[in-house]
Every structure is written in C-alpha cells, then in structure tokens.
Amino acid sequence: MRFRLRVSQLHGSVLQLLLLLLMLLLAVVVQAQQAPTKTRTDPTEAAALNAVFGRLGQTAATSWNISGDPCSGAATDSTDIDNDATFNPAIKCDCTDRNNTVCHITKLKIYSRDVNGVIPQELRNLTRLTYLNLSQNVLTGQIPSFIGELTAMQHMTFGINALSGPIPKELGNLTNLTSLGLSSNSFSGSLPSELGNLAKLEQLYIDSAGLSGPLPASFSKLTKMKTLWASDNDFTGQIPDYIGSWNLTELRFQGNSFQGPLPATLSNLVQLTSLRIGDIENGSSSSLAFISNMTSLSTLILLCRILRNCRISDSLASVDFSKFANLTLLDLSFNNITGQLPQNLLNLNLLNSIFLGNNSLTGSIPNSKGSSLTNLDFSYNQLSGNFPTWASDKNLQLNLVANNFVVNASNNSILPSGLGCLQRNTPCFLGSPQ
Ligand SMILES: *[C@@H]1O[C@H](CO)[C@@H](O)[C@H](O)[C@H]1NC(C)=O
Ligand SMILES: *[C@@H]1O[C@H](CO)[C@@H](O)[C@H](O)[C@H]1NC(C)=O
Ligand SMILES: *[C@@H]1O[C@H](CO)[C@@H](O)[C@H](O)[C@H]1NC(C)=O
Ligand SMILES: *[C@@H]1O[C@H](CO)[C@@H](O)[C@H](O)[C@H]1NC(C)=O
Ligand SMILES: *[C@@H]1O[C@H](CO)[C@@H](O)[C@H](O)[C@H]1NC(C)=O
Ligand SMILES: *[C@@H]1O[C@H](CO)[C@@H](O)[C@H](O)[C@H]1NC(C)=O
Ligand SMILES: *[C@@H]1O[C@H](CO)[C@@H](O)[C@H](O)[C@H]1NC(C)=O
Ligand SMILES: *[C@@H]1O[C@H](CO)[C@@H](O)[C@H](O)[C@H]1NC(C)=O
Ligand SMILES: *[C@@H]1O[C@H](CO)[C@@H](O)[C@H](O)[C@H]1NC(C)=O
Ligand SMILES: *[C@@H]1O[C@H](CO)[C@@H](O)[C@H](O)[C@H]1NC(C)=O
Ligand SMILES: *[C@@H]1O[C@H](CO)[C@@H](O)[C@H](O)[C@H]1NC(C)=O
Ligand SMILES: *[C@@H]1O[C@H](CO)[C@@H](O)[C@H](O)[C@H]1NC(C)=O
C-alpha cells in the first residue's frame, strides 16, 4: 500500500531518469559478461596437436581451428564429442586454467578416418587428455610406453586398428581409466599384471586382440568392472574365481583356450544381462544350474564347438526359465543338454532366438510358444512325437532335422516336403521325392 502511494507520487521525469540509469547499468553488466575473455590454447599442446594432425594427415573440421587457436568453436562450446559424428576429427578443451585465460586439450577423437601410420610421439605432450578415441583406423606399430604418462586419462580406445607388439605395462599407471579399448588388433603376449592397478576400470574391451596366457591374478582388484569383452584370444588357464566378485553386467569369453570347470563364483554375477562363454576344455563337469539366479540375462550363449570334453551335461529342468523375463537369445548348442523343452521357456515374452542344436533333448516340442520366438534350432537331438502346430507359422526360421519325430499324414501338411528324410531312423530313397 505504502509503496504504491510513493510510486504514484513520483514525478514522471524522475521515473524516466531512474529507468534510464537502470538500463545503462544493465548494458554495462551484459557487456562485461560478453567481453571476449582472452583465452589461448597452451602453446605446447597446440604445437603437439598440430604435429599429431600433420603426421596422421588430418585437418580440423570447419567448426574449429587448427591453424589458429585450436581451442575455438566446437572445441569449447557444448558440442558433444562422443555422440556427434560430424565433429570428427575433434578436440575438446578446458579453458578454466589461470583465471580462464589458458585452455588445455582434454579430449581428442580421430575416429574411422582410415588413418595409417604409427601413434605419434607428440601425443606425449597432450598431458591433460582425459579422452582419446583413435578407433577404427589403420594404426600400426606398438602402443608407445609413454602413454602411461597421460595420467588424467579416463576413456581410451585404440580398438579396430593394426597395432602389434605387447600391451605396455605402463598402461597400469593410468589409474583414472574407467574404459579401455584394445579390441581387434594384432597384439602379442599376455595381459600385463600392472593393469590390475586400474582400480576404477569399468569397461575393458580386449576381444580379438591377439593376446594369450592366463588372466593375471592382480585383476582380482578390478572390482568395479562392468563390461569385459575378451572373446577370440588365446587365453589359457582356468577362468579365475575373482570374476565372481566383479560387478559384471556383460561378459564375453568365447573362443579362448580356457580350462574347465567354470568357477563356482560365476553364479554370483546376478546382474549379468549378457553372458557368452564357449569352448571350455574339460568343462563337461560344469552344470547349468549356475545361471539360476542370473534372471536379468538378455543374451545367454554357452557354446562348445571344437574342443574335447567341453560339453555341459545337464537338464534344462535344472533352471527355472520362467524367471528370465528379459531373455531374447538363448544359445546352448553343441552341449549335452538333456531333458524336455520346458513350456515356460518357449513362452517367454521377449525370447526371439533359441539355439539348442546338437544336444540330447528328449520328449516332444511344446504346442505353444511366445509370438516373438521366430528363430529356433532343435536339430540333432532326440526329440520325438508330432511336430507342434505352430511349426507351419509364417516367418519362422525353424530347424528340426535329425530328431525322432513322427512323420505321417497327420502332420505332413505342416511340413515342408522332404523333411521326413532328415529324421533319424528314416530310410529315404534317392529318386523318390515326396
Ligand atoms: C578460426 O580462426 C579465425 C582467425 O583467428 C577466426 O576468424 C575464426 O572465427 C575461427 N573459427 C572458429 C570456428 O573459431
Ligand atoms: C569413438 O568415437 C565414435 C564416434 O563418435 C563413437 O561411436 C565411439 O563410441 C567412441 N568410442 C569410445 C570408446 O568412446
Ligand atoms: C585471478 O583473478 C583474481 C581476481 O581477479 C586475482 O586476485 C588473481 O590474482 C588472479 N590470479 C591470476 C593467477 O592471475
Ligand atoms: C613437447 O613439448 C616440449 C616443450 O614445448 C618440446 O620441447 C618437445 O619437443 C615436445 N615433445 C614432443 C615429442 O613433441
Ligand atoms: C584422477 O581423478 C581424480 C578424481 O576425479 C582427480 O582428483 C585427479 O586429479 C585425477 N588425476 C589426474 C592425474 O588427473
Ligand atoms: C609407470 O609404470 C612403470 C611400469 O609399470 C613404472 O616403472 C613407472 O615407475 C611408472 N611411472 C610413474 C610415473 O608412475
Ligand atoms: C555395481 O554396479 C551398480 C550399478 O550397475 C552400482 O550401483 C554399484 O555401485 C556398483 N558396485 C561397485 C562395487 O562398483
Ligand atoms: C582333462 O581331463 C582329463 C580327464 O579328466 C585329464 O586327463 C586331462 O589332463 C585334462 N586336461 C587338462 C588340460 O587339464
Ligand atoms: C540363488 O539364490 C538363492 C537365494 O539367495 C540361493 O539359495 C541359491 O544358492 C542361489 N543359487 C545359485 C546357483 O547361486
Ligand atoms: C527386465 O528389464 C527391465 C527394463 O530394463 C527391468 O526393469 C527389469 O527389472 C528386468 N527384469 C529382470 C527379471 O531382470
Ligand atoms: C550326456 O549326458 C548323459 C546324462 O547325463 C550321459 O549319460 C552321457 O554320457 C553324456 N554324453 C556326453 C557325450 O557327454
Ligand atoms: C552334431 O551332431 C551330429 C550328429 O550327432 C554330429 O555328426 C556332428 O559332428 C555334431 N556336430 C558337432 C559340431 O558336434
């Protein structure tokens, strides 16, 4: 009330003067905020970046400068280096040093640019890097040991290149690493035990990397590990017990030379959404029950293709599949899985593919299945009885060869002609097509 009174009492011109003053004040503030702060890329880092780009035949995208000040444009604005495919090659900078006057290069990406040559020495001077993405190129030679000096590093990938030689033990100095990608290269030798010092590591991609030997005991310290892709190397020895105390959601171990049996601790990994293990020599003493509590699984692949004594001998009934609501792919081919096909397995809502070929399944195939389930392989088992009515559904990939099904007039209409010939114990006569 009092305020209103006072305002109304003010003379018009005084009010105008006050407004003018207010606007002037605002303008000064805005100008002060917009005034270009004199930031410059650290000269050593700018020179290093130029040298790296020169050696790898790269030029900056138009959204930022390589000839002028590299920490400009997209390198300092909100452009996302990891999810913007057009921002490549790319850097990001942190310009807060010395009262916002000096920029440091913190991220570098040269992704899928057909870059060939060795990893440039000058990279050594980009000491503030937290992110280095050189994946999908044709880099050759070794990972230099100086890489262990870039101790701010958090995400680093050299995946899908032509790198060779040993994994440098100096990588173990990068104790802030949470993600390391070395997949699809031609390295040699074993994993250095120093990598066990990477206590913050959550993702390790080392599939198809040319590595061999046992997994180091020091890896027991990697308790934060969520994702390990280690398929298609020549890892030996037993899968270590400590795996069971990691925090894994994804584990890929196919195509190595591991010895069985599988560690009992594996059953602790109840957060797993994807598990792929295969070809465990002498793994036949392993049962299936260890997956019982891994009910978050979306992908489960337990394969035995090549080696002696690698088959898992167990009944499907030892697992209650009704709890596996998110299962989309189940592949237990080439084992010695026995018993009947559980109805609750085929009825899983999200299950899309089930591969149980080359096992010892018996009984008949359940007469109903979930509508998502369109890719099924039950070949080379001891299944019997009539074909299920859904066998004639459209858009179905179904392999039932080499079983003991009844093949007669009652289910001939369901069958593709000639399938009867492929059943066990069915004499077929060449030259008399059905
Ligand atoms: C690149 O540098 C030039 C000259 O310094 C400048 O005019 C231009 O705005 C810069 N480009 C970007 C994207 O910062
Ligand atoms: C590397 O960059 C590409 C393209 O931005 C991205 O798809 C990929 O996830 C990156 N890799 C890593 C490990 O950050
Ligand atoms: C940073 O700015 C503050 C406040 O303007 C000043 O007191 C200080 O000396 C500056 N530091 C450097 C390193 O320039
Ligand atoms: C790193 O920077 C220093 C100082 O600018 C320079 O003397 C040295 O040659 C650089 N090293 C490489 C490998 O470029
Ligand atoms: C490692 O990370 C911690 C925590 O984020 C940080 O304080 C430290 O400075 C980092 N180390 C390096 C060398 O950047
Ligand atoms: C880095 O690692 C190597 C080998 O593991 C070690 O000899 C060296 O002292 C480490 N360097 C630093 C700076 O910690
Ligand atoms: C394990 O992962 C979950 C989520 O994935 C996280 O909440 C938890 O803190 C992690 N535990 C450890 C020891 O890293
Ligand atoms: C596999 O098991 C067989 C029989 O138990 C044994 O003779 C053989 O040494 C085992 N192989 C390996 C590599 O442990
Ligand atoms: C699954 O969890 C139950 C309840 O915690 C436990 O009794 C059982 O031993 C677990 N099974 C496996 C194979 O770990
Ligand atoms: C299936 O996935 C959904 C969504 O990710 C999740 O909320 C649910 O808990 C999962 N179910 C099981 C059994 O893990
Ligand atoms: C498959 O399992 C059955 C029953 O456990 C066993 O009798 C048979 O010897 C096993 N066959 C192979 C090849 O392991
Ligand atoms: C699959 O089973 C068939 C018939 O028993 C056998 O001939 C074939 O060798 C098996 N394949 C593999 C890879 O075990």
pTM of this prediction?
Answer: 0.86
Residue with CA at minimum distance from ligand 5 atom 13? 152
Mean pLDDT for 61-67 is 75
Reply yes or no on whether the pLDDT at 359 is more than 80: yes
The tens digit of pLDDT for each residue in 280-328 reads 887 767 789 999 999 999 999 998 776 666 788 889 999 999 999 999 9
Looking at residue 376, what is its pLDDT?
96
Residue with CA at minimum distance from ligand 4 atom 14? 122
401 strand-pairing partners: none
Distance 188 CA to ligand 6 centre (A): 21
Q: Dihedrals φ, ψ of 332, to 5°?
A: -120, 30
Looking at residue 28, what is its pLDDT?
45
Distance 284 CA to ligand 11 centre (A): 9
Reply yes or no on whether the pLDDT at 409 is more than 70: no
Pairing verdict, β 90-96 and 102-109: antiparallel
Of 1-5, 198-202, 371-375, give the lowest mean pLDDT range: 1-5
> Concatenated DSSP letters for 401-422?
-SSEE--SHHHHTTSPTTGGGG
Q: Which ligand lies nearest to the CA atom of residue 60 in the structure?
A: 1
Q: Answer whether the bond into residue 342 is a cis peptide, omega within 30°.
A: no
Q: How many residues are there in the chain? A: 434
> Concatenated DSSP letters for 311-363?
--EEEGGGS-GGG-TT--EEE-TTSEEEEPPPHHHHT-TT--EEE--SSEE-S
C-alpha to C-alpha distance for 204 and 155, rounded to whole angstroms: 10
The tens digit of pLDDT for each residue in 365-389 reads 999 999 999 999 999 999 999 889 8
Percent of the chain with pLDDT over 70: 83
Looking at residue 392, what is its pLDDT?
86
Residue that has been written with the tokens 């400068």 in this structure: 65
Q: Ligand 4 within 6 A of 124 CB?
A: yes
